[in-house]
Amino acid sequence: MTLRARLGQKTATWIPAFAGLTTKANVLVIVSSIAVAACASPGVPPGGPADTAAPLIIAIAPDSGRSGVSPKELIFRFDEVVSERPAGAASLNALFLISPRDGVPEVDWNRDEVTVRPRRGWRKNTTYTVTMLPGMADIRGNVRNTGAVTIFSTGSAIPQSRINGRVFNWAAGSVASKGLVEAISRSDTTLVYVAAADSLGAFSFPHLAPGPYIVRGFVDDNNNRGLDSREPWDSVAVTLTDVATVEVLAFVRDSAGTRITDVSIRDSVTLELTFDNSLLLSALPTPGSVTITAPDSTRVTVVSVSPPARDTAQIAAGEPGVTALRPSRPAPPRALIVKLATPLRPGIEYRVRAIDIRNLIGVTRSSERPVTLPAPPAVAPASARPPGVAPPVADSVRR
């Protein structure tokens, strides 16, 4: 029983006993007695039981699935007062998606109700999907970890054609857990439907009219609902008749090209070159694309250049820590293994140069980095070593 209910019961029981007391002091006695009795209820902490439940949606108006309606606003009603500044998002606006999109939604707070509407009003003869994302919280900070979706149409019917799919961060070879997807009508480019991918990269546009669309998905790393220059994205053309399924392989479009960020030594005849973005699979470097030059300008012959094994094939199913959901195409490599004809000499700085390396959009760039094979540890003279202690074994391999 809530504190309010308990107080109501106790007030109904005690007030008749004080019916003859009418002074201001007596009224204070009555109120104080009720409060003390309520707080003294056995087994109940002061102020009543702790509220640990997230707010529940008790109604959405208009009802989901209705057609032929054009409300002033969509209303989400909760079972308690919700926070105007939710803990699960930067603002209330960030918790709602209206599809088709018309800029950032107008979202207003009214205690236990939140109203949502497009900036320029609802379009005629249009089916809308309004999504409340996870993150709504009550004033005690209890956060909903689930969202809600409602659908209605300002036209006479709700179409049943749909586009389903999954968006991947292709370079990482993993699902895009922060994916945002747009379905842009090629018949009317002002119609831009939007959906958020779930934690497994899956998305759906469940009520689209048949026709041609461009589906564009991107990894919204900064959660600003827009595509920024360093965020991975890709697009797919779809002609929708009934149900279409697409795969979006998002990657960064870098017009500056790719460069070496690190050179590590696997052993004296094996180097690993790491780049700042992915390499074009159809134009991978050859031995002539990499030069290794000593300080005296002599070159070390390069025998082979190839991506690491983990970048050239799908990672085996069941490998610890690796999700089974992977792109249908192998992830493009971001590293190269360089094999040398002769060992590098310890203690000497070499210059490693990668020439005209192509990134995923075909931009070429050359770059170089220094690398030095560590010198072996100095061996102490036999006279300085304790009896029976062997000299250390030179280790010319840095892993």
Report the CATH number at residue 346. 2.60.40.1220
Which residue, 207, 231, 250, sits at the end of a domain? Answer: 250
Amino acid at 56: L
The answer, yes or no, to whether residue 14 has pLDDT greater than 60, is no
| Predicted TM-score of the model (pTM) | 0.72
Q: What's the rounded mean pLDDT across residues 201-214?
A: 95
pLDDT at residue 385, rounded to an integer: 61
The answer, yes or no, to whether residue 97 has pLDDT greater than 70, is yes
The answer, yes or no, to whether residue 5 has pLDDT greater than 80, is no
Least Cα distance to 102 among 132, 85, 84, 126 occurs for 126
Residues 241 and 267 in one domain: no
Q: Is residue 50 part of a domain?
A: no
Cis peptide upstream of residue 370 (ω within 30 degrees of 0): no
Give the least confident one: 42-46, 336-340, 362-366, 394-398: 394-398
Residues 267 and 172 in one domain: no
Residues 238 and 265 in one domain: no
Least Cα distance to 165 among 193, 125, 131 occurs for 193
Q: Is residue 120 part of a domain?
A: yes
Quick check: 44 and 10 in contact, CB under 8 A?
A: no
Which residue, 250, 270, 302, sits at the end of a domain? Answer: 250
Give the least confident one: 16-30, 47-61, 128-142: 16-30
Beta strands 364-372 and 349-358, pairing class: antiparallel
Residues 275 and 229 in one domain: no
Half-sphere exposure of 10 (CA within 13 A, CB side): 19
Q: What's the rounded mean pLDDT across residues 152-162?
A: 95
The answer, yes or no, to whether residue 94 has pLDDT greater than 50, is yes
Residues 358 and 209 in one domain: no
Q: Is residue 132 part of a domain?
A: yes
**Burial of 28 from C-beta contacts in 10 A (0-12 / 13-18 / 19+):** exposed
Q: Is residue 380 part of a domain?
A: no
Q: What's the rounded mean pLDDT across residues 336-356?
A: 96
Q: Domains in the chain: how many in total?
A: 3
Residues 233 and 343 in one domain: no
Residues 33 and 62 in one domain: no
Residues 238 and 110 in one domain: yes
Least Cα distance to 220 among 256, 181, 174 occurs for 181
Residues 119 and 209 in one domain: yes
Which residue, 250, 268, 295, sits at the end of a domain? Answer: 250
Residues 149 and 109 in one domain: yes
Residues 279 and 357 in one domain: yes
Q: What's the rounded mean pLDDT across residues 207-225?
A: 91
Residue carrying structure tokens 């493009």 = 332
* Tokens read off for 162: 């749909």
Residues 23 and 165 in one domain: no
Give the least confident one: 73-77, 83-87, 94-98, 216-220: 83-87
Q: Is residue 272 part of a domain?
A: yes
pLDDT at residue 46, rounded to an integer: 60
Q: Is residue 399 part of a domain?
A: no
Handedness of CA 91, 94, 95, 100 (dihedral sign): positive
Domain of 12, in residue numbers: 3-39
